[in-house]
Amino acid sequence: MTPSLGVCYYPEHWPEETWAEDAAHMVRLGLSWVRIGEFAWSRMEPEPGDLRLDWLDRATETLGAAGLKVILGTPTATPPRWMIDKHPDMLAVDANGQPRKFGSRRHYCFSHAGYRDESARIVAILARRYGANPHVAAWQTDNEYGCHDTVLSYSDPARRAFRIWLAARYDSIEALNAAWANVFWSMDYRSFDEIDLPNLTVTEPNPAHVMAFRRFSSDQVIQYNRMQAEILRAHTDAPLIHNYMGRITEFDHYEVGEDLDIASWDSYPIGFLSDRLEASDAHKQAFLRQGDPDMQAFHHDIYRRVGKGRWWVMEQQPGPVNWAPYNPAPLPGMVRLWTWEAFAHGAETVSYFRWRQAPFAQEQMHAGLLRPNRTEAEASAELRQVAEEIAELGDVEPARARVALIFDYPSAWAWETQPQGADFDYFRLVFAFYKALRSCGLTIDILPARAPDIAGYDLVLAPGLMEVGAPFVEALQAQNGLVVLGPRAGHKTDEMATILPEPCPISELGGALLLVESVPPSEVIPLQGGGAFCHWVERVAATETVAERTVAGDPAVLRKDGLAYLCGWPDAPALGRMLRAWCAERDVPTLALPEGLRLRDTATHRFVFNYSAVPLTWDGTQIPPAGVHWEMRK
């Protein structure tokens, strides 16, 4: 597969007489894809039923005629103002009970039937008109589900839909009361109609209640996207794509991905380091203009699996953005580095956001490939270089990794529902494992927990997997490599209850869970082998299967044959040490990379990336800051 480049474009923002030159310029830069349409509903249908698609016809034709392939977005993330008049209760409601008003974007509740019908209507109109258009080579559904915290809505329509969802999940209200153990604080219900959304309670609501609401909320996104996908499928053979975001865990991306052909995501390395990563000040300073060295790769690997192997970067940060706490410019070379890193992880296409920086409205401080005055911005030269390098390098085929890491959305909800420590977060835990693996120079696959194909991996890690369901257990039993579970793996049922009766992973390993502790950052529990547990530790009774102990003598790692269990959250030194030992056991070679240096193996090449702001040496080769190096795999 030869990688390709693209860009996001808004013909409705610019005079029609400039479209042709824009298209020609895109082609000159080496771009082959252009995404349009996803925010243009008010120009497609300025009054209810008054469709104005002639401009979109012409834009598609102009871009297509220039040789570009169009990705057409459904405009449902930005319903026009008149939609609110038709459906005043379509707005999502926040956890404090406030409607989230018109005036920006994503102002809809996934549970509102009227808006779902309106969405179906506009999608059908576009599908019928452009489904067979030769220039429309892909479709995007909506835009960034979940961005701006828009999955959870506490609206009346959401409450009604939740009750229906609960009635379908539980046979009877008695079954629900039993499953949630509503006896606990006299929380029993007499009918599904008595159940409210779990916000604004006096103290914490029942975690089973919260978890049900989280599952429901994810399902609403899945259903909404499926509705769009089914309509599009009826009219087009082009692949269907959604552009996911970074560190959004409120819906199950794997399930949304099942209904689409390609996963894509919107990669803003500098903004994400600034606004959504736990990291020391020193780390944030060291990578201020580069982004965290593992954040992009982590998402690349998630979305490769979400896309069942096919994935893109739909929006690549090309320069300073407008929405992070601070918005520095990328170090020269970083746009090229980010692009090549995506390709090294198997991306088919990297598309930049956006073509020309808007001189108006919310994102006027967000860089584009062109400046507002249409001169080429800094990133243009870098992607021109990438286009040339692609031509030289040719195909980049991803290899299956030898190491797999489980990332499970329901576990993220479970950790949020019942964190037990003030700074606990499932993404943080799994990302720490990912970072430790990458520090060892490993190439990684990320897998879901349901029915994962873990056979054949040398090492499978499933930190924090709250519920270890039957499919995963079956898959484990079929596994030949080493599977490492824990901390906190298999502790809960799918109703967010403590697993009881056993078995759980600990009992499988001949142990018994005595108690768990959460501790503040100032407290660590040192391990005999070096490093320590931090944040979370489980006190376990076990004898024969104890593979490692804490300095205090408590079991720290249980191990029997191909199954290991971690009785705590290991810090980076402990985790690196363990990973290297486990890999050695399976003859998986490891390295000890400095934090700025990262690598990724494809079937044919090894790519090396220098995320740091100083030159670093790789295997005798000096790689400059923001430098990319590749070599044939030995």
Site for a copy of itself in 118-177 (CB under 8 A): 147-148, 150
Strand spans (E) along 259-367: 262-267, 311-316, 349-352
Closest distance to Zn ion from the beta carbon of 441 (Å) = 48
SS3 category, 352: strand
SS3 category, 519: coil
Q: Which single residue is written with the structure tokens 């079937």?
A: 603
Q: Which of residues 43-82 bind a copy of itself (CB under 8 A)?
A: 43, 46-47, 75, 78-82
Smaller CB separation from Zn ion, 116 or 135: 135
Active site residue 397: no
Number of residues that bind a copy of itself (CB under 8 A): 109
Closest distance to a copy of itself from the beta carbon of 300 (Å) = 25
Contact 219, 110 (CB under 8 A): no
Measured CA distances, 104 to 77, 142, 144, 210, 610 (Å): 10, 15, 14, 29, 38
Kindly state whether residue 464 participates in binding Zn ion, applying the rule CB under 5 A: no
Q: How many CB atoms lie within 10 A of CB 179?
A: 18
**290: which 2 tokens?**
């580069």
Smaller CB separation from Zn ion, 61 or 149: 61
Helix axes 156-169, 207-233, angle to 10 degrees: 100
DSSP state letters, 468-479: --HHHHHHHHT-
Smaller CB separation from Zn ion, 61 or 494: 61
Q: Is the dihedral of CA 280, 285, 287, 290 positive or negative?
A: positive
Residue ranges of the annotated binding site are 105, 109, 143, 323
Closest distance to a copy of itself from the beta carbon of 1 (Å) = 33
Cα(461)–Cα(214) distance, integer angstroms: 25
SS3 category, 128: helix
Kindly state whether residue 23 participates in binding Zn ion, applying the rule CB under 5 A: no
- The half-sphere exposure of 214 on its side-chain side, counting CA atoms within 13 A, is 24
Contact 170, 209 (CB under 8 A): no
Q: Which of residues 25-44 bind a copy of itself (CB under 8 A)?
A: 39-43
Which residues sit opposite 398 in a β-bridge? 602
Q: Which of residues 373-392 bind a copy of itself (CB under 8 A)?
A: 373, 375, 377-378
**Of 60-68, 258-266, 453-461, 482-490, which segment contacts Zn ion by CB under 5 A?**
60-68
**403: which 2 tokens?**
């190491």
* Binding partner of 519, given a copy of itself, Zn ion, none, CB within 5-8 angstroms per partner class: a copy of itself
Measured CA distances, 230 to 126, 146, 225, 260, 269 (Å): 13, 21, 9, 10, 33
**What character string, x for contact with a copy of itself (CB under 8 A) and - otherwise, covers 233-262?**
------------------------------
Kindly state whether residue 524 participates in binding a copy of itself, applying the rule CB under 8 A: no
Q: Is the dihedral of CA 24, 29, 32, 36 positive or negative?
A: negative
* Binding partner of 592, given a copy of itself, Zn ion, none, CB within 5-8 angstroms per partner class: none
Q: Phi-psi bin for 303: left (phi > 0), alpha (psi -120 to 50), beta? A: alpha
* Binding partner of 378, given a copy of itself, Zn ion, none, CB within 5-8 angstroms per partner class: a copy of itself
Smaller CB separation from a copy of itself, 500 or 614: 500
Closest distance to a copy of itself from the beta carbon of 187 (Å) = 7
Q: Which single residue is written with the structure tokens 């019908």?
A: 117
Number of residues that bind Zn ion (CB under 5 A): 2
Backbone angles phi, psi at 48, to 5 degrees: -50, 120
Cα(318)–Cα(1) distance, integer angstroms: 24
Closest distance to Zn ion from the beta carbon of 106 (Å) = 32
Closest distance to a copy of itself from the beta carbon of 283 (Å) = 11
Active site residue 144: yes
Residue of 38, 118, 144, 382 marked active site: 144
By CB under 8 A, name the one of 24, 51, 124, 516 that touches a copy of itself: 516
Contact 213, 159 (CB under 8 A): no
Smaller CB separation from Zn ion, 62 or 443: 62
Closest distance to a copy of itself from the beta carbon of 131 (Å) = 22
Closest distance to a copy of itself from the beta carbon of 518 (Å) = 5
Q: Which single residue is written with the structure tokens 């499953």?
A: 179
Closest distance to Zn ion from the beta carbon of 64 (Å) = 4
Kindly state whether residue 284 participates in binding a copy of itself, applying the rule CB under 8 A: yes
Kindly state whether residue 614 participates in binding a copy of itself, applying the rule CB under 8 A: no
* Binding partner of 471, given Zn ion, a copy of itself, none, CB within 5-8 angstroms per partner class: none
Residue of 45, 250, 315, 416 marked active site: 315
By CB under 8 A, name the one of 451, 478, 514, 551 that touches a copy of itself: 514
Measured CA distances, 495 to 169, 214, 407 (Å): 12, 12, 19
* Binding partner of 64, given Zn ion, a copy of itself, none, CB within 5-8 angstroms per partner class: Zn ion
Q: Which of residues 482-511 bind a copy of itself (CB under 8 A)?
A: 495, 497-502
Kindly state whether residue 64 participates in binding Zn ion, applying the rule CB under 5 A: yes
Smaller CB separation from Zn ion, 64 or 330: 64
| Neighbouring residues of 627: CB distance < 8 A, sequence distance ≥ 6 | 333, 337, 609, 610, 615
Q: Which of residues 183-202 bind a copy of itself (CB under 8 A)?
A: 183-190, 194, 196, 198-202
Cα(334)–Cα(289) distance, integer angstroms: 8
Smaller CB separation from a copy of itself, 326 or 589: 326
Smaller CB separation from Zn ion, 59 or 302: 59
Residue ranges of the annotated binding site for Zn(2+) are 109
Closest distance to a copy of itself from the beta carbon of 120 (Å) = 18
* Binding partner of 319, given a copy of itself, Zn ion, none, CB within 5-8 angstroms per partner class: a copy of itself
Q: Which of residues 350-369 bind a copy of itself (CB under 8 A)?
A: 357-365, 367
**Which amino acid, residue 507?**
S
Q: Which single residue is written with the structure tokens 């029997």?
A: 560
Kindly state whether residue 103 participates in binding a copy of itself, applying the rule CB under 8 A: yes
Smaller CB separation from a copy of itself, 194 or 453: 194
Residue ranges of the annotated binding site for substrate are 105, 143, 323
456: closest CA among 470, 471, 475, 439? 475
> Based on the number of CB atoms within 10 Å of its own CB, is 50 exposed (0-12), middle (13-18) or buried (19 or more)?
exposed
Contact 335, 379 (CB under 8 A): yes
Strand 240-244 with 546-549, pairing = unpaired
Smaller CB separation from a copy of itself, 14 or 601: 14
Positions marked catalytic: 144, 315
Binding site for Zn ion (CB under 5 A): 61, 64
